């Protein structure tokens, strides 16, 4: 059996779909469907069971036999809103929940692969998995960082600083791709640019700020298909544990994303306005000044040293595959 928490979310549902493609349907999806629209993400997936996240963690606490015969836990479930400032909710949902599940997996010897975030770097200019570079700017980033810290400290309590079973944290950079529609304002810029072009033929980017020219803020944009591949690779390589950056290692600008979306529509546009789309720059929002990462680029040295050798999609490759899917299914 395989457990995917956040299995109806963005990355989780892509893991489930890929597992299906590999012949695995013995999957328990754990999530919170208070927003029922998320069911679309798994409506084309085959699973063995669905459990509400609160019911699941309660059952794990009172009787961990639920985890008997579990091959792996992909823990993707979290509140991922960087604009959520309810710290009590965030720490309960992202930190305490993750701790409970971690200990249960260690007791059962189950590989535990969990979602961390590049937001732990926040105000840093160096994106390397070291304490001195970790400076979260919001409570979401703090909740992810504090769990990484807990994992590091707990690891030191075991002989030779080694967990008895696999524990891997992935610091996701700017992930984009299929099955993110439910994220709304937190969905990727590729998603929003596509919608803007379909609506009025113009995609809007932030103007200049903090020394960056208009649209030249840079991020490490990583396609969700690559994120899934890395997760599954680690599962198949159980001797590899640790906290790893998961990005391409090569940042690209927001202009590059917009240009890729515009190029796709120029070649596949279904209307005159989308086929002749353009960019427009808007003033940088005041409320984001001082709390916005204008540059991210994953140092993936540890990932490569662990043995992962596959190449990552660049922005144009990922955007073209994404828009083929997005506009083909309009999801």
DSSP 5: E
Q: Which tokens in the block code for residue 67?
A: 């985890």
Q: Which tokens in the block code for residue 39?
A: 């069911």
Catalytic (active site) residue 250: no
User: Which residues lie across from 44 on neighbouring strands?
Assistant: none
Catalytic (active site) residue 17: no
Computed from CA positions of residues 305, 311, 315, 321, in that sequence, does the dihedral angle turn out positive or negative? negative
H or E stretch including 168? strand 167-172
Q: How far apart are CA 154 and CA 238, in angstroms?
A: 19
Residue 107 CA: distances (Å) to CA of 68, 101, 111, 156, 164 = 11, 10, 11, 16, 9
Q: HSE, CB side, 13 Å, CA atoms: give it for residue 321.
A: 14
User: Choosing from 108, 183, 229, 273, which is the catalytic residue?
Assistant: 183
Mutual angle of helices 139-155 and 97-108, in 10-degree steps:
30
User: Choosing from 112, 140, 313, 322, which is the catalytic residue?
Assistant: 140
Q: Which residues are catalytic?
A: 140, 183
């Amino acid at each position: 059996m395989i457990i995917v928490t956040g299995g109806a979310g963005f990355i989780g549902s892509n893991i489930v779909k890929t597992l299906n493609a590999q012949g695995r349907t013995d999957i328990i999806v754990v999530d919170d469907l208070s927003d029922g629209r998320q069911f679309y993400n798994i409506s084309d997936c085959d699973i063995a069971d669905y459990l509400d996240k609160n019911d699941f963690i309660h059952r794990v606490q009172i009787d961990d036999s639920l985890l008997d015969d579990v091959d792996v836990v992909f823990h993707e479930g979290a509140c991922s809103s960087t604009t959520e400032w309810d710290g009590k909710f965030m720490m309960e949902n992202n930190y305490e929940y993750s701790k409970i599940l971690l200990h249960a997996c260690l007791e059962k010897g189950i590989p535990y692969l969990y979602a961390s975030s590049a937001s732990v770097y926040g105000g840093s200019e160096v994106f390397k998995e070291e304490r001195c570079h970790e400076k979260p700017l919001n409570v979401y980033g703090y909740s992810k960082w504090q769990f990484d810290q807990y994992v590091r400290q707990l690891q030191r309590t075991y002989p030779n600083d080694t967990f008895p079973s696999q524990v891997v944290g992935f610091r996701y950079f700017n992930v984009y791709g299929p099955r993110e529609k439910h994220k709304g304002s937190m969905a990727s810029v590729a998603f929003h640019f596509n919608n803007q072009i379909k609506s009025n033929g113009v995609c809007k980017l932030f103007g200049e700020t903090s020394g960056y020219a208009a649209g030249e803020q840079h991020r490490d944009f990583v396609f969700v298909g690559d994120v899934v591949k890395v997760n599954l690779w680690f599962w198949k390589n159980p001797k590899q544990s640790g906290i790893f950056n998961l990005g391409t290692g090569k940042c690209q600008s927001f202009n590059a994303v917009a240009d890729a979306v515009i190029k796709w529509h120029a070649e596949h546009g279904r209307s005159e306005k989308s086929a002749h789309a353009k960019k427009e720059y808007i003033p940088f929002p005041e409320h984001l000044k001082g709390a916005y990462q204008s540059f991210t680029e994953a140092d993936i040295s540890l990932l490569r040293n662990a043995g992962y050798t596959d190449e990552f999609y660049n922005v144009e490759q990922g955007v073209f595959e994404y828009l083929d899917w997005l506009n083909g299914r309009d999801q």
